[in-house]
């Protein structure tokens, strides 16, 4: 099982009813006329141990800085204190849990694909810069843009999944989605990571 941060964040695993411990729906749903049956707060996070730095290169007396990245990896995590279960709905709990599991899986598949492409991302880092800070900043921006593109695709996949399964009871369609994401997870098993998300104390000075 993935490590957790203050018993809140959990990496990808089978969801349980008590993972939805939010006291109310997330803010964007509070004024909605029709509340969802459940909400999973899921994110793709970067390994907190990842390090971006720059090494100097001197050519013909001119110093430039080459950006480098170590321990770059990604994982999908769910926040239990944000995730919410609507106790007023009459939908089968098993169906709802499977539905939220598929949402979680879509994020985890995306994280594993990022891990699969991490070496390629690093090879595509911006060229050398005139200062170490410029090299680090440009690399941070490049990686953030890559993550943003992935998140945009995740949102499209999740919207399509909801459109096909959330309006009424659609177990056959949902089962097809579950079979598809389970296949993707299996294919990408070598790229799964278990990040240490525990809070760290302040470094000694």
Instruction: Tell me which residue of 24, 17, 35 sits closest to 92, measured CA to CA.
Output: 17
Q: Sketch the domain layout of the chain as residue ranges.
A: 4-191
Q: What pTM value is reported for the model?
A: 0.87
How many other C-beta atoms are found inside a 10 Å radius of the C-beta of residue 185? 16
Average pLDDT in the chain:
88
What is the pLDDT at residue 123?
83
What is the pLDDT at residue 2?
41
How many other C-beta atoms are found inside a 10 Å radius of the C-beta of residue 76? 24
pLDDT higher than 60, residue 3:
no
> How far, in Å, CA of 93 to CA of 16, rounded?
10
Helix, strand, coil abundance in the chain, percent, nearest 5: 45, 20, 35
Is residue 199 classed exposed, middle or buried when 0-12, 13-18 and 19+ CB atoms within 10 A define those classes?
exposed
pLDDT higher than 70, residue 46:
yes
- H or E element that contains 150: helix 132-165
pLDDT category at 201 given cuts 50, 70, 90 is very low
Residue 175, φ and ψ in degrees, nearest 5: -65, -35
How do residues 9-37 score in pLDDT, each as one tens digit?
999 999 999 999 999 888 888 777 778 89
């Amino acid at each position: 099982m993935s490590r957790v941060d203050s018993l809140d964040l959990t990496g990808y695993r089978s969801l349980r009813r008590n993972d939805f411990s939010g006291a109310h729906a997330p803010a964007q749903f509070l004024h909605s006329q029709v509340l969802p049956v459940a909400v999973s707060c899921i994110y793709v996070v970067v390994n907190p141990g990842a390090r971006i730095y720059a090494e100097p290169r001197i050519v013909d007396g001119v110093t430039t800085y080459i950006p480098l990245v170590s321990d770059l990896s990604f994982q999908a995590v769910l926040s239990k204190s944000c995730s919410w279960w609507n106790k007023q709905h009459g939908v089968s709990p098993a169906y709802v849990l499977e539905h939220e599991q598929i949402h979680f899986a879509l994020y985890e598949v995306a994280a594993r694909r990022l891990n699969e492409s991490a070496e390629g991302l690093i090879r595509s880092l911006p060229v050398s810069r005139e200062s170490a800070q410029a090299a680090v900043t440009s690399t941070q921006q490049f990686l953030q843009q890559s993550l943003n593109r992935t998140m945009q695709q995740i949102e499209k996949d999740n919207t399509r999944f909801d459109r096909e399964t959330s309006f009424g009871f659609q177990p056959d369609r949902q089962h097809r989605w579950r079979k598809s994401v389970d296949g993707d997870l299996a294919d990408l098993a070598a790229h799964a990571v278990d990040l240490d998300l525990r809070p760290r104390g302040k470094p000694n000075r």
